[in-house]
Amino acid sequence: MNRSHAVIVSFARTPIGKFRGSLSHLTAPQLGSVAIRGALSRLGDAGVPKIVEAYMGNVLQAGVGQAPCRQAVLGAGLEEDVVCTTVNKVCASGMKSITLAAQTIQLGHHKRSHHPHTALLAGGMESMSQTPHYLPASRAGTPLGHSTLIDGIVRDGLWDPYDDVHMGDCAEKCAVDYGISREDQDRYAAESYRRAREGMDMNVWEEIVPVDGPTKKNRDGGDGELIACDEEPYSVNLDKLPSLRPAFQKDGTVTAGNASSINDGAAALLLMDENQALDMGLTPLARIRGYADAEGPPAQFTTAPSKAVPMAVQRAGMTLNDVEYHEINEAFSVVAIVNCMLLNLDMARVNVFGGAVSMGHPIGMSGARIVGSLYDVLKRSGASVGCASICNGGGGASAIVLERLS
């Protein structure tokens, strides 16, 4: 069977908002709609292909309403015949959405006899600010005494149910197992912030779509605020990193400063068959050369990217030496550090313009965001090949290899 090459023809994302920050008035699907409209608006004069299917990652779905991907797609103004699937692979949801779209194209399932040019949407979205607390005892009733509220962010996004610990405790285990000190982690976090600030100052993130603030109009009738920049990079006083208390264990090394933060945001990519894109007059940004998922012990999710990356690279017909730049999601500073160690990577070529520690980590979005960020790095550096990888709760990870085309 002749396999079609899946290519990325457009990418857009919202700014990343702080927890209960400037984007907290929007649901995850509403953020997703903004990113989708942004991706479609970047296609230029060639026009928009027929969107036949969409995959969107979303982890914290309680209270969002049914079929979050469907909400995002219709909210973006797309036609009602678009097939929609919401993906939950925890932090890797956005990246898995991209691989599912690529597989659909490679299998030829995107083709429609009455539409010569078809495309798929993929991405991820999360409003951690709007995630509710749960009252599990209320269903059966609480006849006497107090009832406990459960934080939906922790229960469904940040808790390891296999060992019944916070995922931060798994990061602590990783630091001990590999001899990564508090100083190592703080140093990495400070560098991540420095790189993210440099990226903002250089206007690297051209794909950001401005979002209306909480009020579209000011009280005097003037235009309301547009949110157009990531909120996290300049929100931290780096001089205070060494004085922060451990977040998960009394004598631990993982802190709120060297771990990723809780955030809101969405990202969307448009994928096409390469031949169809060229026939339509579009200029593909990057070709998806390979992808892979890997799993291991749940408590060792931190090192899972080191398993997924070699598999993705091999499937791309390459070796690790062929990969010029990497994006490794910074769930915790220790995650990026340990996977660089295990893969023997040059840290100067990893997360060149910062990562989740300094930019934020809306968990359903991040897997898609780092694929777009990888393209930005390849374009800025004039490089050809890069790999994006992200760990996920349960012991897993996903990876994608890109070849830049324009």
**What is the Cα 40 distance to its own chain's centre?**
19
User: Which residue in 174, 340, 387, 391 is the catalytic one?
Assistant: 391
Is residue 109 annotated as part of the catalytic site, yes or no? no
Instruction: For CA atoms 195, 197, 198, 199, give the dihedral sign.
Output: positive
**Residues 57 and 89: beta-carbon distance below 8 Å:** yes
φ, ψ of residue 272 to 5 degrees: the values are: -140, 165
Is residue 361 annotated as part of the catalytic site, yes or no? yes
Tokens 């100067």 -> residue: 348
Choose among 197, 231, 235: nearest CA to 211.
231
CA distance 178 to 190: 20
CA distance 148 to 275: 56
Q: Which two tokens stand for residue 137?
A: 């005892």
CA distance 359 to 260: 8
Q: Which two tokens stand for residue 402?
A: 């890109």
User: Which residue in 5, 110, 326, 361 is the catalytic one?
Assistant: 361
**Residues 323 and 382: beta-carbon distance below 8 Å:** no
- CB proximity list for 110: less than 8 A, separation 6 or greater: 52, 53, 104, 118, 119, 120, 272, 273
Task: Name residue 269's beta-bridge partners.
Answer: 11, 122
User: Which residue in 5, 69, 84, 91 is the catalytic one?
Assistant: 91
Q: Which two tokens stand for residue 367?
A: 């897997």
CA distance 97 to 92: 9
Tokens 């100083």 -> residue: 183
Q: Which two tokens stand for residue 217?
A: 């109009």
Where does 81-154 show beta strands of DSSP type E? 83-87, 118-127, 133-134, 150-151
**Residues 115 and 52: beta-carbon distance below 8 Å:** yes
Is residue 91 annotated as part of the catalytic site, yes or no? yes
Most distant pair of Cα atoms in the chain: their distance:
69
CA distance 345 to 349: 8
Q: DSSP assignment, residue 217? A: B
Q: Which two tokens stand for residue 134?
A: 């749960």
3-state secondary structure 368-385: HHHHHHHHHHHHHHCCCE
Residues marked as catalytic: 91, 361, 391
